[in-house]
Amino acid sequence: MGLLRTTLRAVLRRIAERVAQNELFEKPGERAHQPKLPDESDEPEEPEPATRDADLAAIQDAMRPSGRPVIVHHWATWCEPCEEELPELEQLRQRTVDRCDWVGISWDRFQGGTDSVARVRDYAAALGLSWGSLVATDDPDDFFEALELGYTKIPQTLVYGADGALLHHARGPMKPADMAKVEKLLS
């Protein structure tokens, strides 16, 4: 099943590239906005968390102060401590979602591979994560330097205040004391 799924994704990616090259899609602004038709279901759909490739500029932009604190979690699908920690972080997110923004940064590309976005998205969905992740595409050394990360292992979680000041840096899996501290910092 995995081979079929991988092959189908590759075929769809090629079709999308050809369509984009031939400019078969409308460009933004070419068509007037059309309101969404009402859905027949009673419950509104939850938007799927965004997971995408991101270079340093996009990652730094996502971490920029926006008037709310930001929790930035560095992780990867191949990291066992990350897998163990992520469900607890999801619980923390559910308790703090109204007080801060969350940004996941996946290091999956550091291990190579071109299907990283799909792998990260599927992995996060399987764990029930409600935040998206940016998949870092830059050279790891440039990435660490640009983000001023002296600690170059995962998992790690950084908490920034609304003004962009670093309030807490958990190196390694977050312990209960770290989570309590984060909640206290956000209260």
Report the phi/psi class of residue 159: left, alpha or beta, with left for phi > 0 and alpha for psi in -120 to 50: beta
Taking the model in full, what pTM does it have? 0.72
Residue 21: pLDDT band (50, 70, 90) is: low
Instruction: Report whether 134 contacts 103 (CB < 8 A).
Output: yes
CATH code for the structural domain at 46-186:
3.40.30.10
H helix runs in 22-160, sequence order? 56-63, 80-96, 116-127, 140-146
Q: How far apart are CA 73 and CA 159, in angstroms?
A: 9
State which of 17-31, 103-117, 162-176 shows the largest mean pLDDT: 162-176
Annotated domain spans of the chain = 46-186
pLDDT digits (tens, 9 = 90+) for 131-174: 989 999 888 899 889 889 999 999 999 999 999 999 999 999 99
Instruction: Report whether 165 contacts 70 (CB < 8 A).
Output: no
* Token representation of residue 121: 């998205």
* Token representation of residue 50: 């965004």
pLDDT digits (tens, 9 = 90+) for 53-77: 888 888 888 888 788 999 999 999 9
% of the chain at pLDDT higher than 70: 81
Task: Round the average pLDDT of the chain to a whole number and report it.
Answer: 83
Q: How far apart are CA 70 and CA 79, in angstroms?
A: 23
